[in-house]
Amino acid sequence: MNKITELLMGSILLAASSCALESEVYDKISPDNFPSTESDVKSLLVGSVYAAFSADGYNNLYSAANGVQTISDCLADVMTCSWGNDWNLIAFNNHTAETGLINSNLNQFRWYSYLGGMILTADRIANSQANDKVKELCIGEAKCGMGFMAFLLYDLYGPIVLPSLDELKNPTKDVILPHATEEEMRAFIVDNLTEAARVLPYKYESGDYGRFTKGLANTLLLKYYMRVKDFENAEKIGKELVENKSYGYAIEDDYYKLFSLEGKGNAEIVYAIPCSKSGQNSLYQVHTYPGDFPHKVYFPNAPESVTLWGGYRMAWSYYHTFEEGDYRLTRIYGEYTDTSGKQHSEELDKTDGSLRVGAVPGKYTIDGMIGDKGMCDVVVFRFSDVKTLYAEAVVRNNNSVNAMAKEYLNEIRTKHGKLPAFTDDEIGTVDKYLDKLLEERGHEFYIEGVRRQDLIRHGRYVEMAIKKNEYAGHSTENVKRMEGGKYVYELLPIPVATIRDGQGKIVQNPGF
């Protein structure tokens, strides 16, 4: 079995081991006998599709410890980390193909192993004995997972190897596939998400909260089209999401309610990962709040004892871009007095202290924590994101700023930031509007994994990375590197082992 196929097949083995739900034990799992029932089909989906998008533990895509949201914002100008080492390489764009993001648990390419499992899962469901309605829905969920994973990997690494069903079913064949082309990546992402959106429901009953929906599939399409600057198709999808009332989305007035125990099922949330005492948990709080943080001062209803050791911080250079009075600063702590009475701030902690590299990006409440485990759902995509991306696409397509675009931008600014609306003088031209939109989205979606994509789309990723490095006193030499007319650090390097196993067919991203 070649190494690439071996990597892809690993997730099917994981899927099989994850199917023992409610004390059921499957002694022998093979395509010949599994899945055979509706229960089998749903178990297979949990293990091979939903497991990848978990927030629980340290080996899942949306774990705050080392998942895609945290790492994406560290790569952008928003985040840094007080732990140093590999985190410093990432935060200041000094990583190589053999460091930081590759040889540690911060490596995002490891999620690639799930993609083959999802492809095989869709095929196994199609050939199961479940009824046609169940099969159609579950295949739609698998296709949504396939498009979701392929988009996230494409965003970080560019075109990847797309395995075919034939190769996955015949892993002993010594076949090494090259990278997909841009056209092949587009077809894979768009076709799977479009098919998923066709069959998935707008919403589920409360017992199925957390399953993929039509809104998620279309939001992923919107984000893909914005990533490749296909603003015409982005506008079409955005219009559907914003104007079709069947989705039931609305902007929440209280920003921090979205990141609280009361935020579960909020109408603004397009997709969130459910957390609870009996299910998976969030590791956001333990990885962001410092160990000496006086949590009862800021969260009086929180447990007396919780575990906090957080090292993730908001870079000081980024913290200072917020306007005074912005409500979203409420849980971004630029200073505090710790549990021993010692004061912390940028000035006091310059050489040593919990705030030496940045402010605390609290965001999620500590209420309800049990030890190091948070109970707030992990927010993945929100309607605020959809509306402002749609507004941006409209402005870019029309090369003018209409009333709707102004309204959607000002809505999140006034509701969530509790700031005065932008005037026509401030956002009346396309350039002014896009500048303010980029800034406002940054403040709105901090540590939600949005900023890097925004900066790349606006052509400002390197500019902002340089500012971050300069403010912190780090070299800017690496981040300025270009190859083939493009900045090297907009994409991540592919792991060296994958390149080696590709025997010349899989090539490294430029510059690495």
- In this prediction, residues 228-253 reach a mean pLDDT of 98
Q: Which of 52, 60, 51 is nearest to 21 (CA)?
A: 51
pLDDT grade for 16, boundaries at 50, 70 and 90: very low
Residues 6+ apart with CB under 8 A from 214: 196, 197, 200, 201, 202, 247
Question: Hey, what CATH class is 3-226 in?
Answer: mainly alpha
Q: Which of 180, 101, 188 is nearest to 148 (CA)?
A: 188
Task: Look up residue 365 and give its two tokens.
Answer: 């409440």
CB 275 within 8 A of CB 281: yes
Q: Which of 280, 293, 268 is nearest to 365 (CA)?
A: 293
Residues 6+ apart with CB under 8 A from 112: 7, 8, 149, 153, 160
User: What is the residue whose two structure tokens read 């077809």?
Assistant: 187
- Among 24-33, 41-50, 95-104, 106-115, the least confident range: 24-33
**Against a cut of 0.75, is the pTM above it?**
yes
d(CA 92, CA 101): 12
Strand extents, DSSP E, 31-178: 79-81
CB 465 within 8 A of CB 459: no
Range(s) for CATH 1.25.40.390 in the chain?
3-226
Residue 224 identity (one-letter amino acid): Y
Task: Give, in degrees to the nearest 5, the angle at Cα 75 between 430 and 487.
Answer: 65
pLDDT at 26: 33
- Residue 340, sorted as left (phi over 0), alpha (psi -120 to 50) or beta, turns out to be alpha
d(CA 170, CA 168): 5
Query: How confident is the prediction for the chain on average, in pLDDT?
Result: 91
d(CA 60, CA 279): 14
pLDDT grade for 373, boundaries at 50, 70 and 90: very high
* Coil, strand or helix at 244: coil
pLDDT grade for 10, boundaries at 50, 70 and 90: very low
Strand extents, DSSP E, 358-473: 358-361, 378-382
d(CA 43, CA 47): 6
Could you write out the DSSP letters of every residue in 124-157?
HHHTSSS-HHHHHHHHHHHHHHHHHHHHHHHHHH
- In this prediction, residues 342-369 reach a mean pLDDT of 97
- In this prediction, residues 36-65 reach a mean pLDDT of 90
User: What is the residue whose two structure tokens read 């579960």?
Assistant: 264
pLDDT at 8: 46
* Coil, strand or helix at 180: coil
What distance, in Å, lies between the first and last C-alpha atoms of the chain? 28
d(CA 182, CA 197): 22
CB 299 within 8 A of CB 365: yes
What percentage of the chain has pLDDT greater than the value 70? 93
CB 404 within 8 A of CB 362: no
pLDDT at 31: 57
pLDDT at 33: 57
d(CA 384, CA 453): 16
Pairing of strands 343-345, 335-337: antiparallel
d(CA 49, CA 19): 12
CB 340 within 8 A of CB 267: no
- Among 170-174, 410-414, 431-435, the least confident range: 170-174
Q: Which of 9, 16, 33, 45 is nearest to 141 (CA)?
A: 45
Pairing of strands 343-345, 358-361: unpaired
**pLDDT at 47 exceeding the cut of 60:** yes
**How confident is the model over 242-283, as pLDDT tens digits?**
999 999 999 999 999 999 999 999 999 999 999 999 889 999
d(CA 310, CA 21): 33
- In this prediction, residues 444-472 reach a mean pLDDT of 97
- In this prediction, residues 443-467 reach a mean pLDDT of 97
CB 190 within 8 A of CB 217: no
**How confident is the model over 387-415, as pLDDT tens digits?**
999 999 999 999 999 999 999 999 999 99
d(CA 213, CA 206): 13
d(CA 462, CA 466): 6
